[in-house]
Amino acid sequence: MAAVRATFSLGRVAGIRIGVHWSVLVIFVLILVGLAGGGFREAHPDRPVWQYWLASAVTAVVFLLSLLAHEISHALVARRNGVSVDDITLWLLGGVARLRSEASTPGAELRIAGVGPLVSLVLGALFALAAGLLDGANDGGLVVGALAWLAGINILLAVFNALPAAPLDGGRLLRAMVWWKTGSPLRATVVATAAGRVLGWALVGIGMYLVLAGAAFSGIWLVVIGWFVIVMATVEGGQAKLRELLGGIPVSDAMTPDPVSVPAATTVGEFLTDARFRYRHSAFPVVDNGNIAVGLITLKGADAVPETERASTVVARVMVPVDDLPTRPDDPLARLVPELEANPAHRALVLEGRDLAGIVTSSDISRVTSWLMSSSAWRNRTF
């Protein structure tokens, strides 16, 4: 999926960074107002006002935790199947687990995609069971209402995510099945993303009908979700074709060899004033002990150091560590693309052992892609 950057971090769960985008506040407020001002008040009248708001706030938080559990399940199963996970971000339309690469087999894709809806379904069943037990024991009131709402929304989340259309989990299940049948991950992605666009336009159409019928809020919400599905399905399709286009090409064919580098002991002040680092690039590899790569320094990162501290601060203190960047010259270029997109620096250092061999930027990949796209062999290719 396209990157959604976290506004602030919640820490780590099972070693995975968890972040929250500011748009989560929209979900929280919608649930809070919808339940406190409507659902709970109508189902359980004559309660103190604070009880409606408290129950609604707790329900909204538990729902967000349910979304997080859904995404964490994807991340954990992905790691067990050899796919690295960068982070998880909760945002307006749910959650995004950012994976560094694609599943290597249809079976791995099936397991990674299938666990999310399964977890949501299990959570829905547990909330429903808890609601039933409390309601049977005594009048649970707002607690039973909250549990019942959480049961329904998690089951709805599971069903919606299981729809066979990208970028939903069901789209990845469909992709796994087509991949298994045809042996072509690209053809499988084309089928899943086409289904995603159909679903997206269907949601947009239903939403517009609801707006015209007078249900403006529900209609607009469906239009937003439908448009999101269309955009993300289109992006996934483009990414799949890009991976196929770059298949078999090593990183060494795209990298800039022997780039201008900055010694680790250089101060930020020297880096910003040295003529060698002016006007050419916005980021430079950092090396130590000759040519051993230790990181990447960006002009933005260096410029963020207060002027009074630049003479005493070495670039090694403000650089991006090498462990977040390295690759090898013989690595497939297609595997590097999602890592470059996910990394804020949009660059990768190419290493031979620990020595710096080159640097790859998004511009380098665009140059290779443009050249390949101009070839008649690619233009005449069918999928």
156 and 220 housed in the same domain:
no
149 and 14 housed in the same domain:
yes
**The pLDDT of residue 139:** 58
Given a contact cutoff of 8 angstroms between Cβ atoms, the answer to whether 360 and 343 are in contact is: no
**The pLDDT of residue 383:** 47
Tell me, yes or no, whether 81 lies in a domain.
yes
2 and 145 housed in the same domain:
yes
CA proximity to 345, closest of 321, 370, 309: 321
User: What is the domain count for the chain?
Assistant: 3
Give me the CATH number covering residue 329.
3.10.580.10
Tell me, yes or no, whether 172 lies in a domain.
no
**pLDDT at residue 28 greater than cutoff 60:** yes
Distance CA 335, CA 232 (A): 20
**The pLDDT of residue 358:** 93
279 and 360 housed in the same domain:
yes
* Residues classed as catalytic: 71
**The pLDDT of residue 88:** 86
Distance CA 110, CA 160 (A): 17
Residue whose pair of structure tokens reads 């971090």 in the numeric block: 9
Cis amide prior to 167 (ω within 30 degrees): yes
229 and 109 housed in the same domain:
no
147 and 189 housed in the same domain:
no
Domain boundary among 212, 245, 278: 245
- Tell me what the mean pLDDT of segment 149-162 comes to: 94
User: Comparing 20-24, 62-66, 150-154, 352-356, which segment has the lowest mean pLDDT?
Assistant: 20-24
**pLDDT at residue 221 greater than cutoff 60:** yes
Task: Give the angle 323-326-332 at the CA atoms, nearest 5°.
Answer: 140
Of the ranges 131-145, 199-213, 247-261, which is most confident?
Answer: 199-213
Tell me, yes or no, whether 380 lies in a domain.
no
pLDDT bin (cut points 50, 70, 90) of residue 290 is confident
Tell me, yes or no, whether 169 lies in a domain.
no
**The pLDDT of residue 214:** 86
3-state secondary structure of 243: helix
Domain boundary among 129, 162, 195: 162
332 and 211 housed in the same domain:
no
Tell me, yes or no, whether 348 lies in a domain.
yes
Domain boundary among 134, 162, 190: 162
**The pLDDT of residue 11:** 82
pLDDT bin (cut points 50, 70, 90) of residue 267 is very high
12 and 123 housed in the same domain:
yes
% of the chain residues with pLDDT over 70: 94
Amino acid at 325: L
List the domain range (segments joined by +) for residue 257.
Answer: 251-373
106 and 155 housed in the same domain:
yes
Tell me, yes or no, whether 382 lies in a domain.
no
Distance CA 179, CA 183 (A): 5
**pLDDT at residue 380 greater than cutoff 80:** no
Tell me, yes or no, whether 171 lies in a domain.
no
Tell me, yes or no, whether 217 lies in a domain.
yes
Task: Give the angle 17-19-21 at the CA atoms, nearest 5°.
Answer: 160
259 and 202 housed in the same domain:
no
